[in-house]
Amino acid sequence: MNLTSPSQVKDWCIANGFHPNKVLGQNFLVDRNSLDAIVAAAGDVAGQRVLEIGPGLGVLTEALLAAGAEVLAVEKDTRLAGRLSEALGNPSGLLVVAADALRVDWDELLQPGFCACVSNLPYSVGTRILLDLAFRAGAPERFVLLVQSEVAERFAAPEGSPHRGQAGVWLQLDYDISAICQVPPTCFWPRPEVDSTVVRLDRHPCGLAAEERKRYFELTKLSFMHRRKQLGALLRKAAGALACSDAELSERLKKCGLDPKIRPEELSVSQWESLATVYAAATT
């Protein structure tokens, strides 16, 4: 079957009594140009291991294998997982794991090392899957993901943007994020109601030590729970490792050159890093 042909994909589904599942985000990519853009954004994958989450009918899996990658594909739908290898001609470079990417033992699966994760992620759980994977010791250096445009915007949102939130501030600590191309609903079958974007994340070195990283995640998690509040007011109520007296808090903000009235979405990644460093120094 030509997996970029909407009519062939639709006919296969009808012939096999397969109804795409909305809850699992089963909107299959049926557009050759977008497929080529995703594979090109992954870089040279020949002879390298690539992770794919949600291979579905295998359009991306097939293209990655054709580019010479060895693919580990994790698919929750047991019917799709069960047919994938045979449907693609039992390629030696493909291993399919029938599992929920939200529950799988990633530390074990990531053990062999992957140069990239290349996926058309299910919309409802895409961000959760990425955040669960991106900060693990064995995480791939690069992610090329097809996600809802709104989600891509959040990942890349700079300070001051209304789209700035916890996911972006966390991902930007470790990754350079770039939008590769837009993918309209017509490129999928069935068509989703939203626009999609191919986004690439390339890992860069992080200058924070382990304890500072811990504070970075704690500070930003707390702050983005109440993004409209002022930073000083937010941190005054902090508990656990972030708790400190009002005088200590003023001193810490002053050291970072931060106005207590600034709001969480206005801080740059390097300002959050400074704050995390000051907090870590005060608590160790």
Cβ distance to ligand SAM smaller for residue 51 or 219: 51
Token pair recorded at residue 256: 């970072």
Q: Does 127 bind ligand SAM (CB under 6 A)?
A: no
Q: Which of 11, 44, 100, 246 binds ligand SAM (CB under 6 A)?
A: 100
Cβ distance to ligand SAM smaller for residue 31 or 218: 31
Q: What character string, x for contact with ligand SAM (CB under 6 A) and - otherwise, covers 241-280?
A: ----------------------------------------
Q: How many residues bind ligand SAM (CB under 6 A)?
A: 24
Q: What is the C-alpha to C-alpha distance for residues 44 and 167, in angstroms, rounded to an integer?
A: 28
Q: Which of 37, 53, 64, 147 binds ligand SAM (CB under 6 A)?
A: 53
Q: What is the C-alpha to C-alpha distance for residues 143 and 109, in angstroms, rounded to an integer?
A: 16
| Nearest-approach distance from CB 177 to ligand SAM, in angstroms | 20
Q: Does 29 bind ligand SAM (CB under 6 A)?
A: yes
> Residue 160: left if φ>0, alpha if ψ -120 to 50, beta else—which one?
left
Rounded to 5 degrees, what are φ and ψ at 159?
Answer: -60, 140
Q: Does 101 bind ligand SAM (CB under 6 A)?
A: yes
Q: In b/e form, how buried is each residue of 43-63, taking b as 16+ CB within 10 angstroms?
A: bebeebbbbbbbbbbbbbbbb
| Nearest-approach distance from CB 111 to ligand SAM, in angstroms | 19
Strand 49-53, strand 70-75: pairing:
parallel
Residues 65-84 that bind ligand SAM (CB under 6 A): 74-77, 80
Q: What is the C-alpha to C-alpha distance for residues 29 and 187, in angstroms, rounded to an integer?
A: 6
Q: Does 126 bind ligand SAM (CB under 6 A)?
A: no
Q: What is the dihedral angle through the alpha carbons of 92, 98, 104, 107, rounded to the nearest 10 degrees?
A: -10
What residues line the site for ligand SAM (CB under 6 A)? 24-29, 53-57, 59-60, 74-77, 80, 100-102, 120, 122, 125
